[in-house]
Structure 1
Amino acid sequence: MGTPSIFIILILLSFNFTSISHAGSTIYKHVDKDGNITFTNRPITGGQKLQSALQSYRPHTSSPKTLNHFPKENANIQNKRDIKRRTILEHELATEMRLLSETQKNLAILQHDHENSLQNEKIKQLQSKLHRHNNNITALKMELTKL
């Protein structure tokens, strides 16, 4: 690598760093007598100095605190909700297991008697459906174990 190529690389790197420094520069807002609003990075007479996003960013250091007057559910209401949720999840699980069984039967019939490419496409669709039902059953069982 010769001196000219190093020089070119240094110039390109300096352009990169100057764009970063301009990103945090001060912005000025000016409203003229007709109500037109102009934003610029140069100081302008009668303009209002605005803070840029980089300068005003402050990382949040503490987690939000729960208010003492924040409403809390009593145990009875929460238990009723949990029971209803469990019932819904169990119903969904039963439905998914039924659909899985039906899909397995249909797939077995088609795989036993595959004649043309149309049935091959149907087999692929049923295999995809079978995989989706298996994933749904796994997810529902995981949700039920959390209750």
Structure 2
Amino acid sequence: MQDSTDMEMASAIGPCASIPADQMAFIRQVLDRVGDKWSMLIIAVLADSPLRYTDLHRQIPGISQRMLTHTLRHLHEDGLLTRTPHAEVPPRVEYALTPLSHGLHEIVTQLIHWASTHHDEIRANRSSTGTSSSRS
């Protein structure tokens, strides 16, 4: 367990040193939101053009409808996606990146590419250490 002296030192050095202490909790929430696997994949998929819900669901293997709905709602609330309903029968809703999310898209794409490039090496490392869990 860290005491208050350790906590003060942790924010006095390193990448968190420039972040005011009263903003840290919110910044952790933002990082948690944009850093989760489904948010990253949604942002990556929406790079080229707006997509309908069903198209997003098809392009992101493994995501449940519930998780897609949940993640889209949160990304929209944070201003990272637009949600455009069209008055048609059947109803149609399109999702697109906002200007705020374009810079994030570049970072997400690099992370996905890095994971794809190094997945064999990481899998081998997990196997050699006996931690080859298949967490999703």
- TM-score, reference length from structure 1: 0.24
Point out the structure with max Rg over C-alpha: 1
